[in-house]
Amino acid sequence: MQEDILQATALHVRQVFERDSSGHDWWHIHRVWRNAIAICRHEQADRFVVELAALLHDLDDWKLNPSADGTPAQALAWMQEQGVAAEVREQVREIITHLSFKGAGVVNGIRTLEGRIVQDADRLDAIGAVGIGRAFAYGGHKGRLMHDPEQPPQLHATFEQYQSSEGTTINHFHEKLLLLKNRMNTATGRRIAEERHAFMEAFLAQFHREWDDADH
């Protein structure tokens, strides 16, 4: 029964996100799903809750749904339609609600082990080579500048500040992506994040080297 629900959910989510061009496409969700399963193997967590939350985590994402009110209404409706138990629906709802990064100064609201696993899985896909590609895809999707050396990064103190920010893609590395390594919840997440973080630092060093060389 659980496997049937997961397969139906994967198919549903794939149909919703298959043509997304913001970096939140089906293959992003698929990577998060696989990352979550891999991390779950090292943790004593409810794998069904982890997999379901990983698959549904972007359905109600505020970045993709400007009218979203913070309630994962689409995810809840889907789970109810699939006959998911009320207790599991509530666990997944809490994970999805608190999953996203909401600003450098905002306290992480994730409370459960299952939530920490899914959050790590999602954050791992925001860093490293894939994370770099996704950052520029999202920046282009939102019509943001790639870089402006006269516009410094901001470490947002509130979700409202972070949500309304229209900073450059390079600033996004300093405002979020470079912060994620030290905010991983699990040992597995921290181990994988080390290499990906180092790759981003090397990329940024090369980017700024080329940017500065263009002045010569």
User: Could you tell me if 89 and 76 are in contact, meaning their C-beta atoms sit under 8 angstroms apart?
Assistant: yes
Provide the CATH number for the domain around residue 29: 1.10.3210.50
Say which range, 17-31, 42-56, 63-77, 173-187, has the weakest mean pLDDT: 63-77
Domain that holds residue 176: 2-213
Angle CA 112–38–180, to nearest 5: 60
Six-digit token pair at 47? 């794998």
In this prediction, residue 157 carries a pLDDT of 87
Amino acid symbol at 133: G
Return the pLDDT at 209: 95
CA pair distance 118, 23, nearest whole angstrom: 18
Residues in the chain: 216
The residue type of 94 is: E
Asked if 32 contacts 119 with a C-beta cutoff of 8 angstroms, the reply is: no
Q: Which of 104-113, 181-190, 207-216 has the lowest mean pLDDT?
A: 207-216
Question: pLDDT of 125-165, one tens digit each?
Answer: 999 999 999 999 999 999 999 999 999 998 888 888 887 78
* Region of poorest pLDDT, from 27-31, 175-179, 211-215: 211-215
Comparing CA positions, the residue from 141, 128, 126 lying closest to residue 63 is 141
Convert the pLDDT of each residue in 87-119 to its tens digit: 999 999 999 999 989 888 888 889 999 999 999
- Looking at residue 163, its pLDDT comes to 78
d(CA 48, CA 6): 8
* Residue partners of 52: CB distance under 8 A and separation at least 6: 5, 6, 9, 79, 84, 88, 92
Name the pTM for this structure.
0.94
**How many angstroms separate the CA atoms of 137 and 4, rounded?**
33
pLDDT at 66 over 70: no
Work out how many domains the chain is built from and give that number: 1
